[in-house]
Chains A and B, each alone.
Chain A
Amino acid sequence: MTTWLSPQDVAVRVQAAVPDSVVEATDVALVLDPARLTDCILFLRDDDALDLSFLSNLTAVDRDGELEMVYHLQSLDQNHILTVKVAAGGYDDPRVASLEPLYHGALLQECEVYDLFGITFEGHPDLKRIFLWDGFPGHPLRKSFLQMPGNLTAGLPGFSHESGDNDWPVPGSVEERPVHPNQAARTNTVPVPGDPPVVQGGDA
C-alpha cells in the first residue's frame, strides 16, 4: 500500500536541509515558501530516504482569489507519496518557479495550469496555452470566470489570427435567443435552504 508521508515529519527534514522554506505542515500537505520551491523540491527528489523522483500530479486550486499550486510527489521504489503545496499569488500576475527542469513530466501539466489559471511558471522552456487559443480572454478555472467577459457569445467569434475574412458574427452583436422559462429557473445544483446564493457576473 502506498503510504502517505506525514507532512510534519518531512517538514522537519526539509527545514533542516533548506532553512526557512516550510510555511506550514498540516495533516494533508506540506506548504512551502515560493521563493525556495526549487531547492526544496530538489532536496525531496534527490534525498535517498525520501526519493520522491516521480511527479504524480501537478495542478492548481483557486481558493477564492488565492491561487495555490498542488503537487503530488511519489517514490516508486519506496512506495510513498507526499502532497506539497505552494502559494502562487492572487489574480494579478501569479508566478511560481517551474518544476520542469526537475521533472520533465511537468512540461505539459504546467502549460495546462498556465492556460486555465493564468499562473506563469518561471523557467519553463515552452509555456503556451495548450487548450485554449492565445487570444482567449481570461482564465476559465478561476472562480471569477463565470461567463465570457465583455458579453461575448459562447463559441468562437473567429480565429485570433484572422482578420474579418469570415462571416462569423461580431462579438456582442448576436441577439440572445429567448430562454425557456424552465431553463432560466434551473441552476445545475439543487438549491438547499441555507446555502449561499450563486453569484453571477464578474470579470475574467
Chain B
Amino acid sequence: MNLPLTPWYDFRDLSGLSSEISGWVGADWLGSIISGVLGALGILMIIGPVLLGLIWLERKVISRFQQRYGPNRVGPKGLLQPVADAVKLVLKEELRPRAADKFLFLLPPILVFIPGILVWGVIPFGPNMQIADLNVGVLFLLAISSTAVVAIFIAGWSSNNKYALFGSMRVIAMSISYEVPMVLSLLTIVFFTGSMSLNGIVQWQQSEDLILILLLPMTAFTFFFAATAELNRTPMDISEAESEIVAGYHTEYSGMRFGLFYAVELLNTFGISAFVATFFLGGWWLWGLDEWIPSWLILLAKTGAVYFIFIWLRGTLPRLRLDQMMNFCWKFLVPSGLLFLVAAAVERTLLIERGWDASIALPVFGVINFAMMGVAIFAWAKASGTPEQRLPSTALMARGRLGGLRAAQAISRQEAGAFEDFGAEPAGGD
C-alpha cells in the first residue's frame, strides 16, 4: 500500500519511524534491530495495563451475568481490583512441591507467556502499524500458538500431582485435536484472500468492501470454537474444570507463577479476539471511518466485542465433557471445515480464473455459504446425541395412587400407550 512518507512521530505509519532510526544509526540492520526492540517494548508496555483492564472487565461482566455487582470496593467501580490482585499474588509465597521437578517446575509460567506476547507482533493496528508485517503471518500464528501447549504439558507433568497430570493430558488431547479445524478455517480464508499476511487479509476486505464473516460464516464459527478450545475457556475448559480436578495443570502453582498462568489465559483470549476481529471483522478497517477514528481504536473496539462474546459464553454455558468435545471436533468441525475449504476453492476459482464479477458473485457466494452453514448445523444437530438426550424435558406427574415397582412399571407402560389407572401424565408446558 503506497502512503506518503510521514514524519517519524506519526504513529499511523511505523515504517517512517523505522527508516528514521536506520538513517540516524547509519546501518540498516542495526536500525531494524533497534526498531524491533522498541516495538517489543512498546507492546510490553501496553500489554500490562491491558491485562489489568481485561481482568477487571471479565470479573465485572461475569458478575453482572450472575446478578451481582462484582468488585466495587477497591478504587472507583473496582478498577483497582486487578492491581490489588497483582500485588497480592506477588507477595504470596511461591510454593514448590518437594517432589516436583526442580527446573521444569519453574519453566512453564515463563514459557507460556512468550507465545502470548509474540502473536501481538503480527497484528495490524493500521495500514502500516505493526511490529512485523510477515507475509506468512497466518502460519506464524498457528506455529506460535502450538508452542503454548508444550508449556502447559510441562506444567502438568512437573507438578507431580495426579490432578495436574489429568489436566495437562486433557489439554494436550484438546489442543492437538482443535488445531486441525483452526488450520482448515484459516486455510479457507487464505484461499479466498490469496494472502497469508494479516495486513493483506484486511486489505482484501477493504478492497472488496466486505467483511469476511458475511462471506464465510461457517469458517468464523469454526475458528471461534476451535479457539475456545485452544484457550481452555468454557464451554471447553475441561482441563481446568474446577469441579473435578481442582485446577488442572496449574493446581500446584501459587503466587505470581499462578498469576502468570491466569494473566496469560486472559491475554491469549484477547489475542485470539484480535485475530478474529482481524480475519473476520475487517481489522482496523471500517468502511472508511478509519480516516477519522484512529484505526487502532477501531481494532480495539472490535476486539473488545469479540472478547465480550467469550465472556458471555463463559458466564452462560456449562462445560462439555472431553469425549463430547472430541466428537464435536472430529465429527463436525473437521468434516465441515474440509467441505467449506472445497467450497471456498471452487468459489475462488470462479471468481479469479473465470473472472466473474465480484460485486455480484460475492453476495451470491455469501448466501450460498450461509445456506450451507445452516444445513451443516442442522444435520449435526440431528445426528448428534443419544436417544435419551432427545427425551422431552418435562417430568411425568403422578396424580393417582402412589406405589413402588409395580406403579413404576405401570407408568412406563402408559407412556408407551397401554392403559393403566395410575393417572400419570406429563406435566403441562414444555
A77 to B403: give the CA distance in the assembly, Å.
4
In the complex, whether A54 has a CB less than 8 A from a CB of chain B is yes
In the complex, whether B406 has a CB less than 8 A from a CB of chain A is yes
List of A residues within 8 angstroms of B403 by Cβ: 76-77, 79
In the complex, whether A83 has a CB less than 8 A from a CB of chain B is no
Instruction: Assign chain A's interface to a size class.
Output: under 10
List of B residues within 8 angstroms of A53 by Cβ: 404-405
In the complex, whether A21 has a CB less than 8 A from a CB of chain B is no
Closest Cβ of chain A to B222, distance in Å, is 48
List of A residues within 8 angstroms of B406 by Cβ: 77
With beta carbons under 8 angstroms apart, the residue of A51, A54, A79 that contacts B402 is A79
Q: Mark A72-98, 1 if CB is under 8 A from B, else 0.
A: 000111010000000000000000000
A76 to B407: give the CA distance in the assembly, Å.
9
Q: Mark A44-67, 1 if CB is under 8 A from B, else 0.
A: 000000010110000000000000
> At the interface, is chain A mostly helix, strand, loop or mixed?
loop
Closest Cβ of chain A to B400, distance in Å, is 13
- Count CB-based A-B contacts (< 8 Å): 17
B396-430 interface with A by 8 A CB criterion: 402-407
A101 to B119: give the CA distance in the assembly, Å.
63
| Nearest B-chain residue to A74, judged by Cβ | B404
A53 to B403: give the CA distance in the assembly, Å.
12
Tally of contact residues, B, Cβ under 8 A: 6
List of A residues within 8 angstroms of B404 by Cβ: 51, 53-54, 75-77
List of A residues within 8 angstroms of B402 by Cβ: 76, 79
A76 to B398: give the CA distance in the assembly, Å.
14
A79 to B403: give the CA distance in the assembly, Å.
7
List of B residues within 8 angstroms of A79 by Cβ: 402-403
Closest Cβ of chain B to A102, distance in Å, is 15
| Nearest B-chain residue to A75, judged by Cβ | B404
A53 to B402: give the CA distance in the assembly, Å.
15
List of B residues within 8 angstroms of A77 by Cβ: 403-407
From B402, B403, B404, B407, residue with most partner A Cβ within 10 Å: B404
List of A residues within 8 angstroms of B405 by Cβ: 53, 76-77
A57 to B407: give the CA distance in the assembly, Å.
22
From A54, A75, A77, residue with most partner B Cβ within 10 Å: A77
List of B residues within 8 angstroms of A54 by Cβ: 404
A86 to B404: give the CA distance in the assembly, Å.
26
List of B residues within 8 angstroms of A75 by Cβ: 404
List of A residues within 8 angstroms of B407 by Cβ: 76-77
B311-325 interface with A by 8 A CB criterion: none
A178 to B405: give the CA distance in the assembly, Å.
60
Q: Mark B8-41, 1 if CB is under 8 A from A, else 0.
A: 0000000000000000000000000000000000
List of B residues within 8 angstroms of A76 by Cβ: 402-405, 407
B377-412 interface with A by 8 A CB criterion: 402-407
Closest Cβ of chain B to A81, distance in Å, is 12
A5 to B407: give the CA distance in the assembly, Å.
21
| Nearest B-chain residue to A54, judged by Cβ | B404
A53 to B405: give the CA distance in the assembly, Å.
9
Closest Cβ of chain A to B234, distance in Å, is 35
Closest Cβ of chain A to B102, distance in Å, is 25
8 contacts between A and B (CB under 8 A): A51-B404, A54-B404, A76-B404, A77-B403, A77-B404, A77-B406, A79-B402, A79-B403
Residues of chain A whose beta carbon lies under 8 Å from any beta carbon of chain B: 51, 53-54, 75-77, 79
* 7 closest A-B pairs by CB: A76-B404, A77-B404, A77-B403, A77-B406, A76-B403, A77-B407, A54-B404
Residues of chain B whose beta carbon lies under 8 Å from any beta carbon of chain A: 402-407
Given A51-B404, A76-B404, A77-B403, 14 more contacts at CB 8 Å?
A53-B404, A53-B405, A54-B404, A75-B404, A76-B402, A76-B403, A76-B405, A76-B407, A77-B404, A77-B405, A77-B406, A77-B407, A79-B402, A79-B403
